[in-house]
Amino acid sequence: MGRHKFSVNEASNVGLGQAGSMLVDTASAAKTPPTGFNIVAITFLEDTAFSALAQVDATKHAGSSAVSYGYAVNSSNTFPQGVTLFGSYSSVTLSSGSCICYFG
């Protein structure tokens, strides 16, 4: 899931958000992508903190569960407005802020 072989044109479309996206602007239950997709990029619309950021593979991407390197993301980590975080995530749960999650 979430890993697809794209043609050059398809890869460009994914980069432009053509695989879909969702706005997350409330601190509530976990938000997940449609079946067969992962969240591949998160753009922060305002300073944002996660209560949970579930990565697909902890050996490759930062997230709120244990990671193979560095530290896990927790609610004290604030991502500033305008930054885009790339990775492969199965769900996001905000504690504050808002973001757009892109699917791939």
Model pLDDT for residues 7-62, shown as the tens digit of each residue? 766 666 555 566 789 999 988 789 999 998 999 999 999 999 999 999 898 887 78
Tokens matching residue 18: 């053509």
Structure confidence by residue, pLDDT tens digits, 59-96: 877 888 877 777 778 888 899 999 999 889 999 999 99
Q: Output the pTM of the full model.
A: 0.80
| Cβ–Cβ < 8 Å for 62, 82 | no
Residue 99 is predicted with a pLDDT of 96
Composition of the chain by helix, strand, coil, percent to 5? 10, 40, 55
Q: Is 28 exposed, middle or buried (0-12, 13-18, 19+ CB in 10 A)?
A: exposed
Residue 1 is predicted with a pLDDT of 46
Residue 24 is predicted with a pLDDT of 94
d(CA 48, CA 4): 29
